[in-house]
Amino acid sequence: MEEKVTILAVGAPYDFKGENGQQISGCAVWYIPTCDFKPTSEVDEMGNVGVLGYVPRKETFPKEFHERIQSVGVPCVANVHYKMVVRNGQNVLKIDGCDFVKSK
């Protein structure tokens, strides 16, 4: 599956050892789909409004992505490719790759 997105922000790369000694590295990426930009609101069970507007999606990319995107600039448009993975016993889509769309 492929989707065109606008990358809004990329966090600084991180690299540390987790509690179980596993090496954890990457960078946070916030993005929105460019084809479905409809403002939403989030309401809890009591009817209280939590979030108004559009909350960007967040994904972890390899830490090398931080270097790669510096030559493109942020915000930018990209085609992202998804793969199915299992998280907490559920199948979910995870970004597997990203190709930047050249601006005209």
Span 15-37, average pLDDT: 88
Q: Which residue has the higher pLDDT, 40 or 3?
A: 3
CB atoms within 10 A of CB 27: 20
pLDDT of amino acid 36: 61
Span 86-102, average pLDDT: 90
Cα atoms found within 13 Å of the Cα of residue 33, Cβ hemisphere only:
9
pLDDT of amino acid 41: 58
pLDDT of amino acid 104: 66
Answer yes or no: are the C-beta atoms of 57 and 32 closer than 8 Å: yes
Span 30-34, average pLDDT: 89
User: Residue 29's Cα: distance from chain center in Å?
Assistant: 4
pLDDT of amino acid 84: 93
38-86 confidence digits (pLDDT tens): 655 555 555 556 666 777 889 999 999 999 999 999 999 999 999 999 9
How does the average pLDDT of the chain come out, rounded? Answer: 85
